[in-house]
């Protein structure tokens, strides 16, 4: 295009539009399924013979799928660089491929037919840090939730997402922190048993179990940053890198998938639902009604100075994905044969339509 100063315009051709060039392509595609020796076409028929390249690499794959993969990769990177994921550390600390695999379980997303739509929403909001904790509600409706209010259960710290699992509560023996530690250690034990019984690439050393349990993501007293990320469903790269010394990626992802889902369901039932019931009664005590919460109107601006509304520094930009990042990513996909990048349905659901609606506070 640069050497010959070509001006290319892409036109979407509707199916069954009887376009001559589209019909010719369809005929060649159908013939390729039945005849490995296609008849040669005269040069005049091929109006622009070329070899498509991306970042100096020849693209030897379905072009339509390849273009879809490019935009899928850009959407995933746009999601990955949101400040909610990298506010405290780099996104390189997260194994995004494994995270996607563990959350792209189709049978879990068909939730409206099995009565678990609330849990499905819980997992997505947990991943995106969008659960309606008190700090989130204070940011959304500062005229209803006083910014100075602390966690209703312990009244000692702001109720953030991480505080849900570390809250000491007024009765320590029933605190969410103790429940969280019990569930996390059970998850660690479950994983260890499954990996010990899985087929490994090389014999496991005697120190495998001790090294696995010593990983930072299992440090829950108090929970480490890596541990809190795992609770959100963000798989730490340190965990998969350690396991990658002994198991294939597919084995690692398959083992991590179901127990993580069960762990989230236990968090949902044993911590979040209990907290939500308590929070509902606490709201009633504060005089906050359902009608007030559902109203989109706040008090007049004269009654709610802008200085009392905390600015949200985490508002993301949809154009924050680095060009070099996704170009390198797609190039790597070509070299590796695109083993997983074409299976981003889950991320597409988060970034095509919902991202425009729910990525901003």
- DSSP code string of 160-183: -HHHHHH---SSGGG-HHHHHHHH
Question: Tokens representing 274?
Answer: 């209990």
- Sign, CA dihedral 200-205-209-213, equals negative
Q: What is the pLDDT of residue 163?
A: 92
**Non-local CB neighbours of 346 within 8 Å, separated by 6+ positions:** 100, 103, 104, 109
Dump pLDDT digits (tens) for 190-248.
999 999 999 899 999 999 999 999 999 999 888 998 999 999 999 999 999 999 999 99
Dump pLDDT digits (tens) for 32-84.
777 656 555 555 555 555 677 777 788 777 888 888 777 777 776 777 777 76
Q: What are phi and psi of 220, to 5 degrees?
A: -120, 15
The pLDDT of residue 269 is above 60: yes
Indicate the SS3 state at residue 41. Answer: coil
Spatial separation of the C-alpha atoms in residues 197 and 220, rounded to whole Å: 25
Quick one: 85 exposed, middle or buried, by C-beta within 10 A (0-12, 13-18, 19+)? buried
State the pTM of this model. Answer: 0.65
Containing 51, the helix (H) or strand (E) segment is none
Question: Tokens representing 24?
Answer: 């010719």
**Confidence grade of residue 356 (pLDDT, cut at 50, 70, 90):** very low
Q: What is the pLDDT of residue 216?
A: 94
Residue 268: name the closest of 169, 145, 180 by CA.
180
Bigger pLDDT: 46 vs 133 = 133
Q: What is the pLDDT of residue 42?
A: 55
Q: Which residues of 236-269 are buried (b: 16+ CB within 10 A; e: fewer)?
A: bbebbebbeebbebebbbebbbebbbebbebbbe
pLDDT averaged over every residue in the chain: 76
Q: What is the pLDDT of residue 208?
A: 96
Bigger pLDDT: 147 vs 352 = 147
User: Strand pairing partners for 236?
Assistant: 94
Residue 224: name the closest of 238, 242, 245 by CA.
238
Given its phi and psi angles, is residue 95 left (phi above 0), alpha (psi -120 to 50 degrees) or beta? beta
- The domain ranges of the chain are 97-108+116-286
If you average pLDDT over each of 26-35, 103-112, 237-246, 293-302, which comes out highest?
A: 237-246
Task: Tell me the percentage of the chain whose pLDDT exceeds 70.
Answer: 70
CA distances to 27, 130, 228, 293, 358 from 137, in Å: 58, 10, 21, 10, 14
Q: What is the pLDDT of residue 334?
A: 55
Containing 58, the helix (H) or strand (E) segment is strand 57-58
The pLDDT of residue 137 is above 90: yes
- Sign, CA dihedral 315-317-318-324, equals negative
Residue 202: name the closest of 142, 245, 162 by CA.
245
Residue 112: name the closest of 102, 104, 120 by CA.
120
CB atoms within 10 A of CB 342: 16
Q: What is the pLDDT of residue 333?
A: 54
User: Strand pairing partners for 54?
Assistant: 57
């Amino acid at each position: 295009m640069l050497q010959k100063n070509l001006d290319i315009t892409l036109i979407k051709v509707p199916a069954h539009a009887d376009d001559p060039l589209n019909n010719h392509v369809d005929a060649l595609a159908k013939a390729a399924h039945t005849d490995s020796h296609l008849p040669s076409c005269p040069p005049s028929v091929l109006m622009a013979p070329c070899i498509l390249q991306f970042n100096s690499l020849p693209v030897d794959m379905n072009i339509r799928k390849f273009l879809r993969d490019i935009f899928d990769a850009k959407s995933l990177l746009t999601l990955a660089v949101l400040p909610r994921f990298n506010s405290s550390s780099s996104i390189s600390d997260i194994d995004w491929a494994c995270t996607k695999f563990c959350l792209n379980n189709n049978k879990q997303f068909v939730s409206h037919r099995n009565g678990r739509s609330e849990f499905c929403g819980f997992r997505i909001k947990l991943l995106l840090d969008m659960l309606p904790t008190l700090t989130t509600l204070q940011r959304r409706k500062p005229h209803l939730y006083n910014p100075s209010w602390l966690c209703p259960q312990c009244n000692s710290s702001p109720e953030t997402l991480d505080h849900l699992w570390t809250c000491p509560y007024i009765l320590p023996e029933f605190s969410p922190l103790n429940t969280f530690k019990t569930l996390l250690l059970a998850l660690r034990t479950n994983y260890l048993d499954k990996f010990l019984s899985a087929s490994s690439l090389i014999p496991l050393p005697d120190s495998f179990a001790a090294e696995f349990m010593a990983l930072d993501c299992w440090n829950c007293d108090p929970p480490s940053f890596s541990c809190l990320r795992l609770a959100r469903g963000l798989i730490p790269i340190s965990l998969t890198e350690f396991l990658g010394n002994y198991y294939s990626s597919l084995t690692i992802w398959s083992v991590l998938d179901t127990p993580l889902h069960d762990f989230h369901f236990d968090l949902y039932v044993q911590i979040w639902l209990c907290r939500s019931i308590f929070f509902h009664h606490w709201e009633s005590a504060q005089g906050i009604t359902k009608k007030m919460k559902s109203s989109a109107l706040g008090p007049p601006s004269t009654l709610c100075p802008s200085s009392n509304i905390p600015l949200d520094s985490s508002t993301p930009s949809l154009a924050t994905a680095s060009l070099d990042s996704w170009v390198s990513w797609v190039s790597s996909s070509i070299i590796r044969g695109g083993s997983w990048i074409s299976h981003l349905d889950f991320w597409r659901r988060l970034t095509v339509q919902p991202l425009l609606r729910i990525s901003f506070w």
